[in-house]
């Protein structure tokens, strides 16, 4: 196995251990797909990645959204809308994958990398203060 390309970085932290641990799982899924592409095994790995990604989204989004409700997070509507868009995009890519796995693997990596940078490392940081003020670390 080649050295990890996508790895957890301290600047990704939202200062909530439970959520950081979930984010680490996401990065691991992304890196698994990337590594599979590097060694030409993306066809074998693609549907496993979709399965893991769907499990991740179910757990992670429900975790965040439960805290949004519990703490009356003011950015909840925007964040929930992003979750819905991410789920829909994953489903779209999964449907397209039935025709051409090679191209889809690269599209999925690009999408997940954008998710990492735009959602996980940026949007999720917006709730850190709210969650921490309610004692969640």
Q: Is residue 62 part of a domain?
A: yes
Residue 3 binned pLDDT confidence (cut-offs 50, 70, 90): confident
For the chain, the domain total comes to 1
pTM, to two decimals:
0.91
Query: What are the pLDDT digits (tens) for 7-51?
Result: 999 999 999 999 999 999 999 999 999 999 888 888 888 889 999
Instruction: For residue 30, tell me if it sits in a domain.
Output: no
The 3 state secondary structure assigned to the chain is CCCCCCCCCHHHCCCCHHHHHHHHHHHHHHHHHHHHHHCCCHHHHHHHHHHHHHHHHHHHHHHHHHHHHHHCCCCHHHHHHHHHHHHHHHHHHHHHHCCCHHHHHHHHHHHHHHHHHHHHCCHHHHHHHHHHHCCCC
- pLDDT tens-digit readout, 68-105: 999 999 999 999 999 999 999 999 999 888 776 557 88
Domain that holds residue 54: 40-133
């Amino acid at each position: 196995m080649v050295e990890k390309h996508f790895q957890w970085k301290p600047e990704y932290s939202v200062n909530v251990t439970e959520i950081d641990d979930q984010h680490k799982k996401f990065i691991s899924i992304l890196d698994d797909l990337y590594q599979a592409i590097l060694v030409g095994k993306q066809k074998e790995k693609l549907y496993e990645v979709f399965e893991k990604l769907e499990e991740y989204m179910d757990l992670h989004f429900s975790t965040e959204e439960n805290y949004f409700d519990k703490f009356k997070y003011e950015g909840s509507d925007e964040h929930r809308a992003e979750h819905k868009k991410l789920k829909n995009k994953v489903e779209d890519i999964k449907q397209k994958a039935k025709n051409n796995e090679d191209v889809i693997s690269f599209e999925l990596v690009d999408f997940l990398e954008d998710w990492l940078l735009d959602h996980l490392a940026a949007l999720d940081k917006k709730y850190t203060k709210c969650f921490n003020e309610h004692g969640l670390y």
